Structure 1
Amino acid sequence: MIRIAALALALALSLTPGAAPAQPADRAGVFDYQVLALSWSPSWCATTGRAGEAAQCDPARRTGFVVHGLWPQYERGWPADCDTAERDPSRRESQAMADIMGSGGLAWHQWRKHGRCSGLSAAGYYRTVRAAAGGVRIPPVLAMLPRDVRLDAAVIEDAFIDVNPRLTRDAITVTCDDGRLDEVRICLTRAMDPRACAPDIRRDCGARMLVEAPG
């Protein structure tokens, strides 16, 4: 009886969260592929940015897509907040990314959460973000949108594929938030070639979404 009770106690402890085996910590430079996240600025400005008078929300700029980030990914899940021996970027280095990321603050946040997992220096990560963004052409039909429209995710994907022939439908996903276009996410190999997104990333918005015109 004592032996059975001890066995039951050991089994119970093994099933409690505190007794679960420790998971290995995310390590810088260890990942399978990357996701380039392009955020639709008019949606962010309509819900958040204008209240803070963000520069990217200036109507005269007519800002469309901005780079949200370049995220290292596993085939399932992703690393974040990795330890790295690389120094953090200076404020000037982060602010220099505002032209494609909207603000230096976002660039810093992306370095801290994702860039440290890239295995690159801060300067190297920022260069890689630029290279990834420069390798994707924004569809003119979206960049010059004259008025608000409602579109399905497939229409936005087709627009990107039309001007980026190397992209395939399984390499791009479109997300929405509160009925608005949120992001276009493009999956890339470590060598910056388009590749199929893993299943946990391949989640298109299931409803027609509002795409507000820049400005």
Structure 2
Amino acid sequence: MRRVLGAALALLISSVSCGPGLADGEPAGEFDYYVLALSWSPNWCAIEGDAKQSPQCDPSEDHGWVMHGLWPQFHRGWPSYCTSAERNPPRHVTNSMADIMGTSGLAWYQWKKHGTCSGLSGEDYFATARAAYNSVTRPAVFRKLKDTVTLPAAVVEAAFLKANPTLEPDMLTITCRDGFIQEARVCLSKDLSPVPCGRDVIRDCRLTDAQFDPVR
């Protein structure tokens, strides 16, 4: 199997020329670990972003792997829309996240749904989210693609594992949507060290011919 994945990853390089959540309103700060969700922006744009005329999809933005979110997670299930006494992030903070999240609107939505569950203030949550994003190396090979390719989802996982030697296969999962590679999800402790994912998260896409669009 390793030889097959290695060969598929080499071919990709050579061609470059969760289960139900808990009820809303859980107490803030009560969770086991984080899930860092990295979305391949060109695929998201093809699936829904273009239809929404999202500014994230403008070629001038040059987005590749963007941060969908940093999600507090239980070993089974996850909290959302938590009751928190912490202050919301000011607008300049959510605006400043657009470089890695695509839009400030996504940043605000992620704060309301997930960030409130972290137990952190808005500023501290987004500082933590940026630190988490920077802690994971996004494989450079995908930014070098010139044309749309189809590939096994396992090849994307292999590329992330190669680029991040501290990650083990059970700390990472690749998801698909509508025939596209959707996201790479990395499980991190509260201090942002890689940890094994819970059963709700570690459900890899099994597609062998998932679509992968190049950076615009």
Same-fold call, TM > 0.5?
yes
Q: TM-score, normalised by structure 1?
A: 0.86
Alignment of structure 1 residues 43-192 onto 2, 5 Å: 43-192=43-192
Seq. identity, %: 50
Distance across 1 between alignment mates of 2:25 and 2:102 = 31
Q: The residue matched to 1:100 in structure 2 has which SS? A: helix
For this pair of structures, how many residues does the alignment match? 193
State the structure with bigger RCO (CA 8 A, min sep 6), 1 or 2: 2
Unmatched runs of 5 consecutive residues or more in structure 2 = 1-22
Partner Cα distance (1:83, 1:67) in 2? 24
* 2:179 is the counterpart of 1:214: no
Q: Deviation per CA, 1:103-161: give whole Å up to 9, x if none.
A: 00000000000000000000000000000000011101112222111121211111011
**Paired residue type of 2:170:** D
After TM superposition, where is structure 1 displaced by more than 6 Å over at least 4 residues in a row?
none
Q: Which amino acid aligns with 1:146?
A: K
Distance 2:109 2:71 in 1: 12
Unaligned runs of 5+ in 1: 1-22
Moved more, 142-151 or 172-181: 142-151
CA offsets 1:66-96 (integer angstroms, 9 cap, x no match): 1000000001000111001112122222111
Instruction: Classify the secondary structure of the residue corresponding to 2:214.
Output: coil
CA contact (8 A) 2:37 2:186 kept: yes
- The root-mean-square deviation of aligned C-alpha atoms, in Å, is 1.5
Letter in 2 for 1:127: A
1:39 equivalent in alignment to 2:39: yes
| Cross-structure match for 2:3 | none
Q: Is the 8 A contact 2:181 2:211 kept in 1?
A: yes
Q: Determine the C-alpha separation between the residues in 1 that align with 2:168 and 2:152.
A: 17
Q: Distance in 2 between matches of 1:183 and 1:89?
A: 26
With normalisation by structure 2, the TM-score equals 0.85
Q: Which amino acid aligns with 1:44?
A: W
